[in-house]
Amino acid sequence: MPFNTLDDVSDLTGKTALVRVDFNVPMENGRITDDTRLRVAIPTIEKLRSKGAKVALLAHFDRPKGKVVPEMSLRPIAGPLSELLGITVGFASDCVGPAASDLLKLLPAGSVALLENVRFHAGEEKNDPEFAQALADIGDIYVNDAFSAAHRAHASTEGVARLLPAYAGESMRRELDALEAALGNPQRPTLGIVGGSKVSTKLDLLKNLVGKLDALAIGGGMANTFLFAQGVDVGGSLCEKDLKETALEILTEAEAKGCRILLPVDVVVAQEFKAHAPSRTQDIDAPLSAEDKIFDAGPKTVAQLNEVMAQSKTLIWNGPLGVFELPPFDAATVAAAKFAAAQTKSGKLVAVAGGGDTVAALNHAGVADDMTFVSTAGGAFLEWMEGKVLPGVAALEQ
């Protein structure tokens, strides 16, 4: 996908770069508890500063629903951002109009200003052309560095990109390059791992992936639905029995398109959902009682998955293989994650992972930093994997 990057623009001295960032950070008592999203934006900010631009940061926080809600102001973020950048970050009490334009006029080249929550305006989420124009009026170029918000056609993610010269920021560029390497133009063979509790939440994802991958491993509660569809007794496990026919259709489609489906061959079973609950490992053809629940994939399943992974060149991962939050039901996810990390570090595998639970699971396994790329964008990452057009990305295409 060809899109303009900041390498395509040279001198911006005195020009204002409107930069859409994701500063929807966790806050407690008016203080940021995790500044990861601020740090992610710094390479783009610094690159624009080095080109002489005035950097005007656009972001949303929470869901004020088009009204000014003082508790949802971005003002508390200006201080921590100033500390990270080593300069004073200005703050404008509005993201459009005189409050924003007057502040930007006063700032020298290379300065940074944070503008107030774009969602204080009803026109933001409606992608209102007048509000998009009001944003464009205060800038000279537009930079989108918020992939996590790119699945929304809002004024600050899509509308303004149609009105100014538009570029992908450094974080956006890394994300798009990684996604292209994983699904757009991957090295083959390609393997996908999709886990999670319910098939119903990932139908579009599964249908898209079976047409693009060489192999797809299905784990978590989703796997129970596919096992049940094939006549396997899943006891009292989480299972969407009403999706039996849908699961069979996906298996049939995968076979027609040459995508090998990997389902558990053994499972870890317990009768209660708590840490270190008494459990046993058994093959999937062994009987289960109504009280027995499957909480993880077994070691034979992991060995089969790792064998396919060892023969693969590209891995895309979304969702854990079991209930990784509670030991011992984290064993399969941790073992597969560590094997993927080792393959990646040795240069044998391009591994791209994303989605909230996936990031947490890889952090739990201690290998998030060893993967090729880990996307923290939940909804946008999932919609991209489903093959959907992301409005904020489409607006950047040349």
Ordered structural domains, the chain, with CATH: 6-172 (3.40.50.1260), 186-385 (3.40.50.1260)
User: Out of 15, 75, 126, 198, which one is annotated catalytic?
Assistant: 198
Rounded-to-integer distance, Cα 352 and Cα 373, Å: 5
Rounded-to-integer distance, Cα 367 and Cα 25, Å: 23
Q: Is 3 annotated as a binding residue?
A: no
Q: Is 339 annotated as a binding residue?
A: no
pLDDT at 169: 97
Name, in order, each residue with C-beta under 8 angstroms of 252's C-beta and a sequence gap of 6 or more.
none
pLDDT at 183: 85
Give the Cβ contact number of residue 327 at 10 Å: 14
pTM for the predicted model, two decimal places: 0.89
- Would you say 143 and 20 are in contact if contact means Cβ atoms under 8 Å apart? yes
Q: Is 198 a catalytic residue?
A: yes
Percent helix, strand, coil in the chain, to 5, is 45, 20, 40
pLDDT at 397: 86
Q: Is 119 annotated as a binding residue?
A: yes
For the chain, which residues score pLDDT lower than 50? none
pLDDT at 333: 97
Q: Is 22 annotated as a binding residue?
A: yes
Q: How far is CA 225 from the centre of its chain?
A: 25
Q: Which of 365, 290, 285, 287 is nearest to 320 (CA)?
A: 365
pLDDT at 1: 61
Q: Is 356 annotated as a binding residue?
A: yes
User: Out of 52, 79, 236, 379, which one is annotated catalytic?
Assistant: 379
Q: Is 356 a catalytic residue?
A: yes
Rounded-to-integer distance, Cα 157 and Cα 389, Å: 14
Q: Is 363 annotated as a binding residue?
A: no
Q: Is 208 annotated as a binding residue?
A: no
User: Out of 236, 356, 378, 387, which one is annotated catalytic?
Assistant: 356
pLDDT tens digits, 322-363: 999 999 999 999 999 999 999 999 999 999 999 878 999 999
Q: Is 293 annotated as a binding residue?
A: no
Q: Is 379 a catalytic residue?
A: yes
Q: Is 105 a catalytic residue?
A: no
Based on C-alpha coordinates, what's the Rg of the chain?
23
pLDDT tens digits, 155-185: 999 999 999 999 999 999 999 999 888 988 8
Rounded-to-integer distance, Cα 388 and Cα 398, Å: 19
